[in-house]
Amino acid sequence: MAQNAHPSRRESLIQVKASFLKSSSRVEECPPPTRAEFAFIGRSNVGKSSLINKLVGVKDLAKTSQRPGKTQLINHFTMDDGAWYLVDLPGYGYAKVSKTLREEFSKMISFYLRNRENLLSVFVLVDARHDPQAIDMAFMAKLAEWQIPFALLFTKSDKLTRAAQAKVVENYTRKMLESWEEMPPHYVTSAETGKGREEVLLYIQSLIPLFVSPQNSVRNP
Binding site for Mg ion (CB under 5 A): 48-49, 70-71
Binding mask 111-150 for ligand GTP (x = CB under 6 A): ----------------------------------------
Considering the complex, state which of residue 48 and residue 76 has its C-beta at the smaller distance from Mg ion: 48
Residue 190 contacts ligand GTP per CB under 6 A: yes
Nearest by Cα to 55 from 205, 211, 207: 205
Question: In the chain, what is the straight-line distance between the N-terminal and C-terminal CA atoms, in Å?
Answer: 62
Measured between alpha carbons, how far is 144 from 140 in angstroms, rounded to an integer? 6
Looking at residue 219, what DSSP letter applies?
Answer: S
Measured between alpha carbons, how far is 39 from 17 in angstroms, rounded to an integer? 17
Nearest by Cα to 203 from 145, 162, 150: 150
Measured between alpha carbons, how far is 126 from 133 in angstroms, rounded to an integer? 9
Could you tell me the smallest distance in angstroms from the CB atom of residue 87 to Mg ion? 11
Measured between alpha carbons, how far is 193 from 74 in angstroms, rounded to an integer? 26
- Among 35, 48, 102, 186, interactor with ligand GTP by CB under 6 A: 48
Binding mask 27-46 for ligand GTP (x = CB under 6 A): -----------------xxx
Stated as kind and residue range, the H or E segment containing 170 is helix 162-176
- Among 35, 70, 76, 116, interactor with ligand GTP by CB under 6 A: 70
- Among 36, 37, 38, 49, interactor with ligand GTP by CB under 6 A: 49
Q: Do the beta carbons of residue 169 and residue 152 sit within 8 Å?
A: no
Considering the complex, state which of residue 78 and residue 155 has its C-beta at the smaller distance from Mg ion: 155
What is the amino acid identity at position 65? S
Measured between alpha carbons, how far is 115 from 78 in angstroms, rounded to an integer? 20
Could you tell me the smallest distance in angstroms from the CB atom of residue 8 to ligand GTP? 23
Residue 25 contacts ligand GTP per CB under 6 A: no
Considering the complex, state which of residue 33 and residue 196 has its C-beta at the smaller distance from ligand GTP: 196
Region of 2-10, 67-75, 160-168, 200-208 interacting with ligand GTP (CB under 6 A): 67-75
Query: Which does residue 68 touch among ligand GTP, Mg ion, none (CB within 5 to 8 A, set by kind)?
Result: ligand GTP
Would you state the torsion angle of the CA atoms of residues 143, 75, 53, 212, taken in this order, to the nearest 10 degrees?
60
Contacts to ligand GTP by CB under 6 A: 44-50, 64-66, 68-71, 90-91, 155-156, 158-159, 190-192
